[in-house]
């Protein structure tokens, strides 16, 4: 709505002060005198370094290697070059559908999640009563394993289930989400949003609460209405939290698995199958490890690209020092 440049100007007009303290390590770092302490550092870092190398970086590289093989778990693998990727991109009858589903899911989930959690954070923050109560209520689903909450939603969406009966009662034709090829992914999105927007709600609530009242008071004196104050002051002030939430939500959205497994098993057909789910079925149901690893690397590349893009774009809209 508001051009980025104007947001910045509006920010600059606000009295300076520290909002997101933790985002500014440099101040403390500069004050400390340098201490070349490699030995101690290695001791402190050793456990986490070993763990990351053994259980993250090594498997990541191994996965790349596997994607050039045709291993079927039993028997021995042989090198097949790029043929897994070529098959995926040119011959696999469902890969592009799965790819599209993943992007659609992530985009829709991300936008809805951020919009809903910001709205709810502002809404709950404006309440004079029961702020903590409502935050806890909307955070509750986080405690249920995703599999569990997806199964509850399945029970609601099932043919003959709750939703169909509500639609019959209200005489509003609501198509069945889980049997419809075009809508199955929406069922997954609803279950995911319900389960996990509480995280971002808490994150944004915390960020909003840390805004000092003086900014808003100053703006109110300047004659800004609630809407303007939201877009020009609050939103820019919580932009680091927004950025953090966006990046993590996008990454978790791209690898969605549990809900798909429990709710639709990627179906009907492959209408709600995602890359994360395809890795599982190719890898651990059909045991085409090479093929599955190729899908895994496609997913990884997408995540890297998207995160790089977000890091680049953040310079335009995220404000750390005000």
Kindly provide the b/e burial profile for residues 49-74, where b requires at least 16 CB atoms within 10 angstroms of the residue's own CB. Answer: eeeeeeeeeeeeeebeebbbbbbeee
Residues 128 and 209: their CA atoms lie apart, in Å, by 14
Cβ 104 to another protein, closest distance in Å? 17
Cβ 218 to another protein, closest distance in Å? 17
| Nearer residue to another protein within complex by CB, 7 or 245 | 245
Contact letters (x/-) for another protein, 25-64, by CB under 8 A?
A: xx-xx-xx-xxxxx-xx--xx-xxx-xx-xxxxxxx-xx-
Residues 55 and 38: their CA atoms lie apart, in Å, by 24
Find the part of the chain contacting another protein (CB under 8 A) among 4-12, 78-86, 99-107, 266-274. 266-274
Which residue in the set 181, 214, 217, 309 belongs to the binding site for another protein (CB under 8 A)?
181
Cβ 259 to another protein, closest distance in Å? 10
Helix (H/G/I), strand (E/B), else coil: 62: helix
Question: Where do we find the tokens 């923050």?
Answer: 125
Residues 184 and 271: their CA atoms lie apart, in Å, by 7
Find the part of the chain contacting another protein (CB under 8 A) among 6-14, 102-110, 157-165, 228-236. 157-165
> Please, what is the end-to-end C-alpha distance for the chain in angstroms?
21
5 makes contact with another protein (CB under 8 A): no
Residues 241 and 208: their CA atoms lie apart, in Å, by 9
| Residues in 205-244 that interact with another protein by CB under 8 A | 205-207, 209-210, 238, 240-241, 243-244
Find the part of the chain contacting another protein (CB under 8 A) among 2-10, 107-115, 130-138, 228-236. 130-138
Structure tokens given for 187 = 């069922």
Asked if 184 and 98 touch (Cβ cutoff 8 Å), the reply is no
Find the part of the chain contacting another protein (CB under 8 A) among 78-86, 99-107, 179-187, 228-236. 179-187
Which residue in the set 98, 121, 156, 216 belongs to the binding site for another protein (CB under 8 A)?
156
């Amino acid at each position: 709505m508001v051009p980025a440049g104007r947001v910045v100007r509006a920010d600059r007009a606000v009295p300076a002060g520290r909002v997101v303290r933790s985002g500014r390590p440099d101040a403390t770092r500069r004050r400390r005198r340098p201490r070349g302490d490699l030995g101690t550092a290695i001791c402190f870092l050793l456990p986490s370094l070993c763990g990351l190398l053994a259980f993250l970086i090594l498997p990541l590289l191994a996965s790349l290697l596997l994607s050039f093989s045709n291993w079927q778990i039993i028997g021995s693998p042989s090198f097949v070059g790029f043929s897994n990727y070529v098959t995926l991109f040119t011959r696999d009858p469902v890969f592009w559908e799965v790819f599209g589903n993943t992007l659609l899911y992530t985009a829709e989930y991300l936008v809805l999640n951020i919009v809903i959690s910001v709205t709810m954070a502002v809404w709950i923050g404006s309440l004079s009563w029961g702020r903590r109560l409502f935050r806890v209520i909307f955070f509750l689903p986080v405690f249920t394993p995703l599999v569990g909450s997806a199964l509850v939603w399945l029970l609601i969406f099932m043919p003959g289930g709750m939703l169909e009966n509500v639609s019959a009662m209200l005489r509003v034709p609501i198509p069945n989400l889980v049997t419809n090829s075009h809508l199955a992914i929406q069922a997954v999105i609803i279950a995911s949003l319900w389960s996990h927007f509480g995280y971002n709600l808490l994150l944004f609530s915390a960020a909003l609460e840390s805004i000092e009242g003086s900014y808003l008071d100053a703006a109110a004196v300047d004659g800004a209405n609630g809407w303007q104050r939201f877009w020009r002051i609050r939103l820019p002030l919580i932009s680091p939290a927004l950025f953090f939430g966006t990046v993590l939500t996008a990454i978790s959205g791209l690898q969605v698995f549990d809900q798909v497994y429990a709710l639709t098993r990627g179906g009907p057909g492959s209408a709600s199958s995602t890359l994360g789910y395809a890795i599982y079925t190719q890898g651990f149901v059909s045991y085409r490890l090479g093929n599955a690893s190729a899908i895994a690397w496609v997913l990884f590349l997408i995540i890297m690209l998207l995160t790089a893009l977000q890091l680049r774009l953040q310079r335009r809209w995220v404000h750390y020092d005000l």
